[in-house]
Structure 1
């Protein structure tokens, strides 16, 4: 088994962990997350908050956020979002429905993630993920002995494809889950969806049918993607990323900010990222 979420072990996890221990780059070591930090992510996911009582003042702020203009009221939106953070941590809250400004106002996802995890150090994921790229691809070639054979040329995408293929969804009980996809299908349909410049965004969104968050790569071809955006329930979020690795970091964070479960076809993959890089 490449990764066992019950023990945070497995061949892939243990091999990368050994490489990290042998890394003598003292600067990189100092900048790593606290060793127990990924456990706080799990505790946050599992913790059930109490129902939040919303007073009249908070109701006014929520109503403002529903009707606010992201272009002319950006700073006020950010302040009202800070003041209503406690509401988003409440029980049985449809965050995206109650706080629609997430879908048109820059910076709100990052701000909420920092509020959730003050010990979070920006860009640590990107640094560690890039450092592991060569090792991940070597492990993939060693254990599979097959080429990736993908149209994507971005190195971070290749690394992610390799990881997703080594971390397929686990069967639920004795039978596979009804909607379980192969690791190849899971990557193409659930993690990174490609939109060619000539195709309609609405058609692509309708065709994907994904309700869980995913990355949409846009460009003339898979070898020349111009930017990446995040889509949740057919809604495109405002942040645009030139680098896939930044979009992947944002995709991970948005699950916690919006209190969303991982897609069951990518649960192994995201849990591995959580343990290994966060």
Structure 2
């Protein structure tokens, strides 16, 4: 273990992480030990690609590739089209425009420049299609998809101190993406934040970073944020096809699946 903690050769680190996979799985599934996984395996915090590797070891190549393969070809355009049937709002209209825009159009439009890129906009549209879960009796009032979005991805300008951002967190947030760039449409780096710990994404694309974010829930056995639970459940059962029939789904998840796969 000490070799892996201080080794500088990435290939050696990844091989050692493969060897210790079962030990790590047992650890994350143990409630008393799960919070210490990043202490025991700190290379998640400086070696990119370890989340994807662990997910691949857990589920295999075919399952691991499903989001990146199926979102652009099967789901993205259908999500955009279904979003156009929702009650109109300013936030929704901007997301639809951004999701449909080409990179050339983004550069020429101030509204599109200030929005997320096409892939991430389409992911957030899925959040609008599958509304946030109810927050319970102690929190009356429905949480909007736009509010829930802030629990999925946070934008900071390039040059912002990630450490200062982490230090400013005063609530225990579950996994989310921190996107660093000159503007929302031009992100240069994504990192995953988990309990004030920073895990770099290997991918520099928004869809790739979201793929890593989703997989991190399984790698670290972390529950979905309640506001994002329905959306994540859809991605788990419909796109990755993990634990179909074993996961409790809301009627809306089943309804949207039927529409998109029709």
Q: Fold-level match, TM-score > 0.5?
A: yes
CA distance in 1, matches of 2:140, 2:165: 24
Q: 1:213 to 1:180 in 2, by over 3 A?
A: farther
| Partner in structure 1 of residue 68 of structure 2 | 126
Q: Is the 8 A contact 2:133 2:228 kept in 1?
A: no
Q: Which of 175, 178, 191 is the matching residue for 1:213? A: 175
Structure 2 gap ranges (5+) = 96-113, 241-262
What SS does the aligned partner of 1:158 have?
helix
Residues 178 and 98 (structure 1), Cα distance of their counterparts in 2 relative to 1, 3 Å cut: farther
TM-score computed with the length of structure 2 as normaliser: 0.71
Question: What's 1:76 paired with?
Answer: 12
The structural deviation recorded for 1:211 is: 3.5
Q: 1:167 is matched with which residue?
A: 130
**Could you tell me how far apart the structure 1 residues matched to 2:202 and 2:61 are?**
25
> Which structure 1 segments of 5+ residues have no match?
1-60
- 3-state SS of the aligned residue for 1:237? strand
Matched residue count: 212
CA distances 1:200-239 after superposition (whole Å, capped 9, x unpaired): 3233333455542211111111232223222222222233
Q: Which has the higher helix share?
A: 2
Residue pair 2:124, 2:149 contacting (<8 A) in 1 also: yes
Q: 1:200 aligns with which of 145, 158, 161?
A: 161
Relative distance call for 1:178 and 1:230 in structure 2 (3 A) is farther
What SS does the corresponding residue of 1:274 show, helix, strand or coil? Answer: helix
The aligned counterpart of 2:228 is 266
* 1:255 to partner: Cα distance: 0.8
Q: Is the 8 A contact 2:82 2:129 kept in 1?
A: no
Q: Which residue of 2 aligns with 1:14?
A: none
Residues 179 and 115 (structure 1), Cα distance of their counterparts in 2 relative to 1, 3 Å cut:
farther
Q: Structure 1, residues 23-80: CA drift from partner, whole Å, max 9, x if none? A: xxxxxxxxxxxxxxxxxxxxxxxxxxxxxxxxxxxxxx3x444xx235x243332232
Contact 1:152 1:223 in 2 (8 A): yes
Q: TM-score, normalised on structure 1?
A: 0.67
- Could you say what secondary structure the match of 1:111 adopts? helix
Higher Rg: 1
Residue 268 to residue 226, structure 1, CA distance change in 2 (3 Å): same
What residue number does 2:148 align with?
Answer: 186
Equivalent in the alignment of 1:105: 47
- Match of residue 82, structure 2, among 134, 139, 142: 139
Question: Aligned partners of 1:185, 1:154: CA distance in 2, in Å?
Answer: 19
Give the CA RMSD over aligned residues: 2.5
Counterpart position of 1:114: 56
Kept in 2, the 8 Å contact 1:140–1:166? The answer is yes
Deviation at 1:171, TM superposition (A): 2.2
The answer as to whether partners of 1:197 and 1:220 remain within 8 angstroms in 2 is yes
